[in-house]
Amino acid sequence: MTRLLQRLLGRLPIGWLQLTHNPMRFAAALVGVAFANVLVFVQLGIMNSMGTAVLQPYSFFSADVMISASDANALTDGGNVARQWLLQAMADPDVVDGIGLFVGNVPLDRASTDIALTTFGIDPTKPDFLSPLIADDIALLQVQDSALIDRLARGLPRDEAAAIRPQSPLAFETQGRTVTAYSTFAGGGGFGGDGYMIMSDQTFLSLFPARRSAAPDHILLRLRPSADVDATVQRLRKLISDPELRIRSYADAGQEELTYQQTKRPTGIIFGFGVLIGVLVGLVIVYQVLSTDVADHLREYATFKAMGYDQRFFMGIVLEEALILGILGFVPGVTVGGTILTVMGKVTTLPLAVTWSMAATVFVGTVVFSALSGAIATRRLAAADPADLF
Amino acid sequence: MTEDPIVLAQRLNHWFGTGSARKQALYDIDLRLERGSFTVLVGPSGSGKTTLLTLIGCLRLVQEGSLHLMGHELHGAEEAQLVAMRRRLGFIFQAHNLHESLTATQNVMMGAQVHRGVAETAAGGAARHILGLVGLADRTDYLPANLSGGQKQRVAIARALVGNPDLLLADEPTAALDKDSASEAIDLMRRIGAARGMTTLLVTHDPRILDRADRILTLEDGRIVADRRTG
């Protein structure tokens, strides 16, 4: 390692030699950096899973434009939308079709489980509004009180979910009715529910008698393949000039909800602070290690100053140490952080994992913030006055 | 002598502190050091020896008077110029100040690599060579913790000499050494210095060193009160 660094740096790797001179302190410093990495990984993992979980239900459907109530910050939030706006939107030449989307929370009452599924009601005669992976089973929903159930739902035994087929459906009680799941799709537990369920709008309305077919939660529109989505949205906003409505592209709706969940909702803000605290902990640990190291070697640094080494040389040593700590601390950090996320993901069924992009972000962040700590620590070098050596 | 002196101080004054706490450390110092000479600076504590040494060593800014080092005026010189000048000097301190994490060779290499453009292998070779000259050929890979006090000071001497300095400045280099080690260290400085045409200015309280000097300067209360040439 010494020879490799010597070749890379073109000088003696004094930072590396200093760090490894005291193995116990070096190990403690690496544990500290790794700990900060683990904090960041866990918080980022949860934030990322929130992003995945928020966008997950959007992936069940296929649409170009979504019309929602103005207070609908999320797919599962907000007031209803009058179906008349669907008919009004159809007047636009680029709108080819539309459906009402109903959303509700359905408790699943079974002997062994007590879970709540976010349930969507749709028109079962329009498969184009479902993602291709789900659309194949849409005909099953035309049977009253039938449903497609999330096979990754929290609390639903995997083997039981895997056995669900039209020939061996799963029947369960909910809202005082028996609902039968004839097939499954892949969803997963989110922050607002244990999983998902899709059924026909008629079945949905029979589970929620207070809801009316004329007032879905959202309206989904499909446009002609060559249509300009943004231009159509602008036209629809003029056509349906109701301030109580939000008319957005379907893609924008998902991103806006993601932003809302991460920046306006307490959970997103808390996890964001968690990342910040992890970064600060790492910054403080690396700074503490480096500034102590500088303080311990002030006489040696002063000697080097007397010999004619300039400030750039000393900054090079401290940055070398910072980068070594950052890089080597990252390795156990990503290993432990990844393991914790995997275990948490299995327990909660949230999509928790270290992704390549997350690992790259944390690695770059670790290196940058370690270098920043090192740059701050070099201020202590000013105390190394060679005249004091005499 | 007609050759330019390596050090030429004229009416050099220096103070520490400000306001009412201001105290003058050097008074109108006039000093000329010839190239290749071995000069010892003696005097009681607080007489200004170290202040003079640090001014010549470009470690303090000249406040008043003129100080020429190797033909360059240090009064008004900028930090970058002082750093560049220091690369042409060798320093030996009372404490060895070796880097604890570096081997003897690596410590000495630091003295060579301060000169930009000196390759790693060349610096290593020069370091091992000079460690051989100071009798530490069999200790090149030792860390300072595994060397005796005399050996550490010999490594420090090697570090000061490896860059072939024009001027060697030493402050009490034998203070922490026993009689034999002290004698050995001075012999090394004289021998290698003479072979390389190097000038030495050495501050000491050690009377054992005086008979090795070409010239003995005595400083008292910031003034040179005696200048004796022994050669």
Q: What are the DSSP calls for A94-113, one per residue?
A: TEEEEEEEEEEEEEEE-SS-
Mean pLDDT check: name the lowest of A121-130, A220-229, A254-263. Answer: A254-263
CB-nearest partner of B114 from A14, A308, A386? A308
Average pLDDT, chain A: 88
d(CA A219, CA A229): 15
d(CA A242, CA A259): 24
Low-confidence ranges of chain B (pLDDT < 70): 1-2, 117, 231
pLDDT at A111: 67
Question: What residues of A are in contact with residue B74 (Cβ under 8 Å)?
Answer: none
**CA geometry: angle at A270 spanning A268 and A273, to 5°?**
110
DSSP string across A48-86: HHHHHHHHTGGGGB--SEEEEETT--STT-S----THHH
pLDDT at B216: 94
Cβ partners under 8 Å of residue A225, min gap 6:
none
Q: Between A14 and A109, where is the model more confident?
A: A14
Please name the residue of chain A whose CA is at the shortest distance from the CA of residue B143: A21
Q: State whether residue B42 is helix, strand or coil.
A: strand
pLDDT at A115: 85
**Residue of A307, A310, A324 to mutate when probing chain B, most B C-beta within 10 A:** A307
Question: What residues of B are in contact with residue A302 (Cβ under 8 Å)?
Answer: 97
Whether the Cβ atoms of residue B22 and residue B33 lie closer than 8 Å to each other: no
Which letter, b or e, does each residue of B79-97 get, where b requires 16 or more Cβ atoms within 10 Å of its Cβ? eeebbebbbbbbbbbbbbb
Question: What residues of A are in contact with residue B89 (Cβ under 8 Å)?
Answer: 308
CB-nearest partner of B93 from A17, A20, A390? A390
**Residue of B53, B56, B97, B142 to mutate when probing chain A, most A C-beta within 10 A:** B97
The owner of tokens 């709540």 is A116
The edge-to-edge listing of strands for the beta sheet with B215-220 is: B89-92, B167-171, B199-203, B38-42, B215-220, B223-229
Least Cα separation, residue B87 to chain A (angstroms): 5
Residue extents of the structural domains in chain A: 2-54+266-389, 71-242
Whether the Cβ atoms of residue A316 and residue A12 lie closer than 8 Å to each other: no
pLDDT digits (tens, 9 = 90+) for A106-163: 988 776 667 889 999 999 999 999 999 899 999 999 999 999 999 998 888 888 889 9
- Going A191 to A193 to A196 to A198, the CA torsion angle's sign is negative
Q: State whether residue A219 is helix, strand or coil.
A: strand
pLDDT at A154: 85
**Residue of B45, B47, B55, B59 to mutate when probing chain A, most A C-beta within 10 A:** B59
B95 near A CB under 8 A: yes
Maximum CA extent, chain B: 55
pLDDT at A113: 67
Tokens of B70: 């190797």
Question: What residues of A are in contact with residue B54 (Cβ under 8 Å)?
Answer: 387, 390
CB-nearest partner of A386 from B59, B80, B111? B59
Interface of A with B (CB under 8 A): 6, 10-12, 14, 17-18, 20-21, 297, 299-300, 302-304, 306-310, 386-387, 389-390
pLDDT digits (tens, 9 = 90+) for B64-113: 999 999 999 999 999 889 999 999 999 998 888 899 999 999 999 999 88
Residue window 54-83, chain B: list those with CB within 8 Å of chain A. Answer: 54, 57, 59-60, 80, 83
pLDDT at B1: 47
DSSP H or E segment with residue B152: helix B149-161
Range A48-58 average pLDDT: 87
Nearest alpha carbon to residue B42 among B190, B212, B231: B212
CB-nearest partner of B114 from A14, A307, A387? A307
* Percent of chain A topping pLDDT 70: 98
Least Cα separation, residue B60 to chain A (angstroms): 7
Cβ partners under 8 Å of residue A82, min gap 6:
A214, A215
Q: State whether residue B21 is helix, strand or coil.
A: helix
Question: What residues of B are in contact with residue A389 (Cβ under 8 Å)?
Answer: 91, 93, 95, 97, 171
Provide the CB-side half-sphere exposure for A342 (13 A, CA). 8
Please name the residue of chain A whose CA is at the shortest distance from the CA of residue B58: A306
pLDDT at B64: 95
d(CA A305, CA B79): 12
CB-nearest partner of B110 from A299, A304, A389? A304
Question: What residues of B are in contact with residue A307 (Cβ under 8 Å)?
Answer: 86-87, 91, 110-111, 114, 159
B113 near A CB under 8 A: yes
d(CA A80, CA A104): 12
pLDDT at A12: 83
Tokens of B165: 């300095």
Cβ contact, residue pair A307, B87, below 8 Å: yes
Provide the CB-side half-sphere exposure for B29 (13 A, CA). 35
B167 near A CB under 8 A: no
Q: State whether residue A150 is helix, strand or coil.
A: strand
CB-nearest partner of A308 from B60, B83, B102? B83
Cβ contact, residue pair A12, B111, below 8 Å: no
Cβ contact, residue pair B97, A12, below 8 Å: no
What is the value of pTM for the model shown?
A: 0.73
Question: What residues of A are in contact with residue B102 (Cβ under 8 Å)?
Answer: 12, 14, 17
Question: What residues of A are in contact with residue B120 (Cβ under 8 Å)?
Answer: 6, 10-11
pLDDT at B143: 95
* pLDDT surpassing 80 at residue A186: yes
Question: What residues of B are in contact with residue A17 (Cβ under 8 Å)?
Answer: 101-102, 106
Question: What residues of B are in contact with residue A306 (Cβ under 8 Å)?
Answer: 57, 59, 86, 91
pLDDT at A60: 95
d(CA A132, CA A57): 14
Range A87-108 average pLDDT: 93
Least Cα separation, residue B192 to chain A (angstroms): 19
Question: What residues of B are in contact with residue A299 (Cβ under 8 Å)?
Answer: 95, 97
Least Cα separation, residue B86 to chain A (angstroms): 5
Cβ contact, residue pair A389, B97, below 8 Å: yes
pLDDT at B2: 52
Least Cα separation, residue B178 to chain A (angstroms): 20
